[in-house]
């Protein structure tokens, strides 16, 4: 017995495919069997399993559990859940050695996939390739694991509320917040959470529906925040918070209706945290604004620019002992008084806490940020065989450039006008570009530099690629 996956589903940070085309129950069974085999050989034996609200998720969950138990692993089923609830189940139970969440995250309804954690660390890159190798060779462990159920919702909600410890609850009585679950898996937890929060809370789309009837659950796309923006305006709320499909990424709107992007949220979290932990290392990905890195320095922290990708950031946090990290994509990681994984519900609580501790409204905190002019993340198709080679060519050409060239993840070039970035996506056949300046003219000059480098490598900023 062996199993071969469609090669397109074994990705850098997770396993993801299209139901009925590249991903079926047999794939899920082989994923469970291979993951269980790796865990058994590493001395582990118990795996927590959860699933999101997509219509295909229960089927995949059933198959993955079959595979895990066939490898001799015991399974703890936590049921329908946001991804952070699976991470919580794994992190808070010393007897659980790994976790698998069945989720398509913010992808279209016909997609689904798996996010995994292995003995307390992210499971990505070569780990995922090993799943493919073990399945192809049929080199599986045999056994008959037991299955049990463990509801984690109530203990998870109580753990989230600890994010408000030390804050005078009466001071939050006048707070008014809007929340948009986007019909994703975080909806039920959100309803339970807001019932226990001080202040006035208005929620949208908490009913789990894998067809996403109201809007797509990706809070990094401004169009998807329109319902939340309207709610904030209509009810006169202090701010609004939105989640992606599986609850590990946050988006936000301030009281004036402005989007607070991932790096801007991190500015608020960092300012709050650095009051208590002077000198702490704060990590952000290469797509983040210079304003964030300056802000961290100004408040006594050590900014560290790192590679894009939630698994890569989590690994760097462990390596450096960083208590806080974030990405433009809305993944935020708290390891000061939390577990270090990305949890959008907890990030929502910490936004309330930061505003209270800093003594300023979220809108005031957003007002204080410098007005940078930046492009959205531009993604354009390029042949898989060229994407990394093109970045290497750009690096080689800029080797002796007078500009500041950072090669942490792709090429980030800082000039008097601001900065521009060109990097290869780890998950798609696209190049990603971004630029930021303090003036429109400066931004134009930066974009000309991007276009010039692309042209020298025989490429152009052609049709934009979607997610």
d(CA 74, CA 144): 8
Taking a C-beta distance cutoff of 8 angstroms, is the pair 391, 450 a contact? no
Alpha carbon of residue 133 to chain centroid: 27
The C-alpha angle 256, 327, 443, rounded to 5 degrees, equals 70
Q: Which long-range contacts (CB under 8 A, 24 or more apart) does 253-256 make?
A: 253/178, 253/225, 253/228, 253/229, 254/362, 254/363, 254/366, 255/361, 255/362, 255/363, 256/363, 256/366
d(CA 177, CA 108): 28
**Cα-Cα end-to-end distance for the chain:** 35
Taking a C-beta distance cutoff of 8 angstroms, is the pair 280, 273 a contact? yes
Give the residue among 405, 403, 411, 408 at the shortest CA–CA distance from 387.
411
Catalytic site positions = 105
- The DSSP symbol for 141 reads -
Q: At what angle do helices 126-137 and 25-41 cross, to 10 degrees?
A: 110
The residues with which 219 forms a beta bridge, in sequence order, are none
d(CA 426, CA 12): 6
Length of the chain: 467
> How many C-beta atoms lie closer than 10 Å to residue 446's C-beta?
25
């Amino acid at each position: 017995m062996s199993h071969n996956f469609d090669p397109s589903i074994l990705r850098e940070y997770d396993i993801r495919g299209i139901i009925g085309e590249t991903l079926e129950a047999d794939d899920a069974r082989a994923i469970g069997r291979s993951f269980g085999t790796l865990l058994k050989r590493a001395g582990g034996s118990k795996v927590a399993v959860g699933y999101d609200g997509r219509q295909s998720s229960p089927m995949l969950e059933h198959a993955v559990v079959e595979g895990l138990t066939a490898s001799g692993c015991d399974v703890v089923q936590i049921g329908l859940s946001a991804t952070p609830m699976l991470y919580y189940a794994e992190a808070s139970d010393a007897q659980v050695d790994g976790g698998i969440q069945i989720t398509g995250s913010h992808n279209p309804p016909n997609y689904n996939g798996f996010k995994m954690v292995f003995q307390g660390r992210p499971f990505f890159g070569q780990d995922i390739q090993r799943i493919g190798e073990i399945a192809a060779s049929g080199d599986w462990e045999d056994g008959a694991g037991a299955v049990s159920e463990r509801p984690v919702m109530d203990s998870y909600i109580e753990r989230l509320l600890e994010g408000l410890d030390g804050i005078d609850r009466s001071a939050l009585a006048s707070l008014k917040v809007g929340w948009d679950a986007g019909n994703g898996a975080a909806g039920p937890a959100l309803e339970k959470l807001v019932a226990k929060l001080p202040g006035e809370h208005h929620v949208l789309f908490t009913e789990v529906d894998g067809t996403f009837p109201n809007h797509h659950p990706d809070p990094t796309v401004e169009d998807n925040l329109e319902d939340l923006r309207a709610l904030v305006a209509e009810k006169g709320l202090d701010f609004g918070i939105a989640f992606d499909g599986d609850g590990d990424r946050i988006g936000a709107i301030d009281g004036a209706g402005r989007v607070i992007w991932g790096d801007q949220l991190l500015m608020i979290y960092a300012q709050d945290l650095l009051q208590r932990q002077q000198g702490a290392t704060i990590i952000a990905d290469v797509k983040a604004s210079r304003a964030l890195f300056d802000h961290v320095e100004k408040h006594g922290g050590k900014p560290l620019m790192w590679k894009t990708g939630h698994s890569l950031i989590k690994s760097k946090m462990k390596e450096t002992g960083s208590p806080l990290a974030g990405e433009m994509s809305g993944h935020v990681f708290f390891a000061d008084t939390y577990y270090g994984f990305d949890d959008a519900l907890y990030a929502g609580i910490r936004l309330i806490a930061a505003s209270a501790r800093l003594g300023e409204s979220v809108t005031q905190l957003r007002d204080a940020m410098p007005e940078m002019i930046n492009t959205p993340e531009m993604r354009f198709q390029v042949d898989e065989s060229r994407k990394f080679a093109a970045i290497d060519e750009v690096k080689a050409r800029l080797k002796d450039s007078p500009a500041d060239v950072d090669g942490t993840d792709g090429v980030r070039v800082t000039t008097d006008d601001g900065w521009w970035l060109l990097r290869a996506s780890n998950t798609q056949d696209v190049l990603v570009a971004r630029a930021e300046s303090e003036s429109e003219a400066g931004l134009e000059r930066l974009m000309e530099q991007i276009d010039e480098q692309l042209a020298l490598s025989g490429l152009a900023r052609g049709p934009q690629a979607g997610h």
